[in-house]
Copies of this chain bind each other. A is one copy, B any other.
């Protein structure tokens, strides 16, 4: 918080990036001048000016919060980014690496040697180190582990053992614990001896000799209570607690519902092993919603907007390949009916409409269901009810849009049977879309897979191939 002392308003946050860019720009201007000079004296002057610009930039960076430096690094193209990264004080490298996005972190780590990385990692706490570890080279991790005191080494091992997306992977070890049988007076004296409380300390955790959680003592309660009382008399005896294996998503929902700032994490024997804070929860919520948005658009992971072309290609290729396969299958379905299209070429113009509307409608259904599943709102006994509802909506949509398009097709091609086939095909493809739109999240939820990933591709594949097959099949049966 100390670093925020000079900060006033939101505009100032945006201003920082701008100032850094101005300084960088001046620096580059001088650099290009230097490159063009041949008089040695002139060059010397320019170099001095340049040094001054860099010193100014360094001073600016030193005064910024680690999160602001991270934001600036993310907003700069690779070459500028590395200039700024070199100017950041080495002892802040660790915390800044923690704050940047995965893609940008890779580009920064790639620019550092083993020694720098070890030095950066050693400034971090065990739980932070565990977050960074997957991106570090193996030898750096080994070096760092060897340098840790025993307790932290254990913590690091524990933190790294929990699966991604679990509470254990998000929790931290830094917290204040007190005993039940001491007075609030003693607690207050103890707290004063600590120089500072860990961030987000809204409550102290009350434990017994065996380190079992007995309750919590909110600071707000400590402050308003008589200091002669014992902790046991004032504490909240049974409180909300998490297990390290709990899903982070469930924990996030609990934080949201109960407006929590921190929650204790206990093991199977009720022993206190860490705590989860709201700031870790906020980061988790942001990241998981970003990941979902990226996955739905077919990006394998978060992409550095200034990534090299080849990196971008690799990040996107898998989804395009899947799309290619499904599009190819749909194309072969059309191929089956080439004879019909040759006889009635209007079919070629009308078939993409049937396929497109089906895909759109199926995605609406799935998005709504996936969201309800994520919030835990959809119970097993209601699937049938939901299914009937979606089928009804599909039939209503089929009547309205299918009817409308049937009339359009009739008017365009002056053929009532063609219009009727169009309407019937739309109706059937919308029903197919509803079936698939409910079935895909249902099956995925049954088998414990994330119901969101790839749903949209699967649905579009079914409604494209299905739509072409239904429309061209009906046309072949009734029109030719």
How far is B342's CA from A405's CA once the two chains are assembled, in angstroms? 23
Partner of A464, one of B222, B335, B352: B352
Interface size on A (CB < 8 Å)? Answer: 147
Partner of A297, one of B323, B367, B377: B367
Q: Contact mask A1-18 → B, CB, 8 Å, 1/0?
A: 100111111100110010
Whether the pair B223, A222 counts as a contact (CB closer than 8 A) is: yes
- Shortest CB–CB separation between residue A212 and chain B, in angstroms? 13
Query: Counting CB contacts under 8 A, is A348 at the interface?
Result: yes
Q: In the complex, which residues of chain B have a beta carbon less than 8 angstroms from the beta carbon of A332?
A: 349
Query: Counting CB contacts under 8 A, is A379 at the interface?
Result: yes
Q: In the complex, which residues of chain B have a beta carbon less than 8 angstroms from the beta carbon of A400?
A: 313, 317
Whether the pair B324, A401 counts as a contact (CB closer than 8 A) is: yes
- Shortest CB–CB separation between residue A333 and chain B, in angstroms? 8
Closest B residue, CB atoms, query A222: B223
Q: In the complex, which residues of chain B have a beta carbon less than 8 angstroms from the beta carbon of A367?
A: 293-294, 296-297, 299
Instruction: Tell me the A329-367 residues at the B interface (CB within 8 Å).
Output: 330-332, 334-335, 338, 341-342, 345-353, 355-357, 360-361, 363-364, 366-367
Q: 5 A-B contacts, Cβ less than 8 Å apart?
A: A5-B236, A13-B253, A299-B367, A309-B389, A320-B401
Whether the pair A224, B197 counts as a contact (CB closer than 8 A) is: yes
How far is B268's CA from A264's CA once the two chains are assembled, in angstroms? 40
Partner of A261, one of B278, B305, B386: B278
Query: Counting CB contacts under 8 A, is A306 at the interface?
Result: yes
Q: Contact mask A231-244 → B, CB, 8 Å, 1/0?
A: 00000111111110
Whether the pair A9, B242 counts as a contact (CB closer than 8 A) is: yes
Whether the pair A313, B396 counts as a contact (CB closer than 8 A) is: yes
Closest B residue, CB atoms, query A255: B282
Q: In the complex, which residues of chain B have a beta carbon less than 8 angstroms from the beta carbon of A65?
A: 257-258
Partner of A349, one of B294, B338, B379: B338
| Known A194-B224, A316-B393; contact A331-B353, beta-carbon cutoff 8 A | yes
Q: Contact mask A286-303 → B, CB, 8 Å, 1/0?
A: 100110111011110011
| Known A224-B197, A256-B282, A327-B357; contact A305-B372, beta-carbon cutoff 8 A | yes
